[in-house]
Amino acid sequence: MKAGALDLGEASKGLAPRGGVNKGVSILDFILRLIALIGTLGSAIAMGTTDETLPFFTQFIRFRAKYDDLPSFTFFVVANSIVSAYLALSLPLSIFHIVRSGARSSRIILIFFDTAMLALLTAGASAAAAIVYLAHKGNARANWISICQQFNSFCERISGSLIGSFGGILVFILIVILSAVAVSRR
Amino acid sequence: MKAGALDLGEASKGLAPRGGVNKGVSILDFILRLIALIGTLGSAIAMGTTDETLPFFTQFIRFRAKYDDLPSFTFFVVANSIVSAYLALSLPLSIFHIVRSGARSSRIILIFFDTAMLALLTAGASAAAAIVYLAHKGNARANWISICQQFNSFCERISGSLIGSFGGILVFILIVILSAVAVSRR
């Protein structure tokens, strides 16, 4: 496609900086993907290993809080794992875009999956955030008590694991926009 | 930009169908925005008017469930309202794209805001969904009881109001991809 445009006689002085900008955009895209990968993978691991057993127990009950007691947290771990696996798989394609900065259809395919993954990651992070808020504050009207008074380190852990995920969302928005810019200046 | 490309001598037979495809994409974009507007506005109204008062009451307490008893539902209403206001504001720009299908920078600006709004809408919808799930099922480990046994019509209403929002998310993903396609074939 790019070669075709060249043949059709676009001024070469106009094309050289464009290719340079696209290479820069592709490198930035690669770095952002790495950052998002670290964030989502960190979130998945931090949440997935959350497990607190209180030091006291009765004859029948041991007080224990694990992330999969709450379905939203399981969804959070699954969503973050899927997104980080996708990001790892998209890295080779990102390198391909650095080498061949004129590629267009592969970029559009990537925008499609990026947008879908952005939605998945946001869904996981915000469902977990809603439950974390409830764990901290409880809700008097619905008679849901705050569980953070008993499970202190559990609550710190689940709150902290949201950070990587929300950072990943911001980075993903940047990635989609960068791809749109790159696709527009072929 | 388009005029410049014309001057640089791209074959006119190649441009005519492209313009046609872009006009079709722009019209589809307009229709999708209308659908998403109806969905998100409907969700905001359905959730925002949810209010159930039970027919029995004691001397001290009247049993009443309103959407703003739960912060996640307030966020849901706010997010849906913002997104539907944005969609209404973006309709004129979408019409502008139908008329001038070669416009490029305005499309990229729109992709930016579309992506951000997609993230906002997903966050609102999935935070509300997490709480709706909790209202239906409760959580034995955290001692959170299901409130749907008492507030039946409240629960039906909050569950139903999620539909428009999740439909809006799917439509938004389509809109972003269509914009990316339109921007790539100027």
**Cα distance between residue B123 and residue B67, in whole Å:** 17
Record the pTM.
0.83
Q: Do A125 and B129 touch (CB under 8 A)?
A: no
Average pLDDT, chain B: 84
Contacts of A70 in chain B (CB under 8 A): 139, 141-142
Partner B, chain A 46-75, Cβ-Cβ below 8 Å:
65, 69-72
Q: Do A111 and B173 touch (CB under 8 A)?
A: no
**Cα distance between residue B70 and residue B3, in whole Å:** 54
Partner B, chain A 6-35, Cβ-Cβ below 8 Å:
8-11
Tell me if chain B has a CB within 8 Å of the CB of A116: yes
For B37, the token pair is 């507007």
Structure confidence by residue, pLDDT tens digits, B127-175: 999 999 998 988 888 888 888 888 888 888 899 999 999 999 999 999 9
Range B117-126 burial, b when 16+ CB lie within 10 A, else e: bbbbbbbbbb
Which residue of B lies nearest to A110 if distances are taken between CA atoms? B177
Amino acid making up residue B43: S
Domain chopping of chain A, boundaries: 24-51+65-184
Please say whether the dihedral angle defined by the alpha carbons of residues B162, B166, B171 and B173, taken in this order, is positive or negative.
Answer: positive
Amino acid making up residue B138: G
Inter-chain Cβ pairs, chain A and chain B, closer than 8 A: 133
- Mutual orientation of helices B105-137 and B12-48 as an angle, nearest 10°? 30
Contacts of A111 in chain B (CB under 8 A): 176-177, 180
Q: Which residues have C-beta within 8 Å of that of residue A174, sequence separation ≥ 6?
A: A32
> What is the full per-residue pLDDT of chain A (186 aa) written as tens digits?
444 444 433 444 444 455 677 788 889 999 999 999 999 999 999 999 888 877 766 666 667 788 888 889 999 999 999 999 999 999 999 999 888 877 788 888 898 899 999 999 999 999 999 999 998 988 888 888 888 888 888 888 899 999 999 999 999 999 998 888 888 876
Q: How far is A108 from chain B (nearest CA, A)?
A: 7
SS3 B62: strand
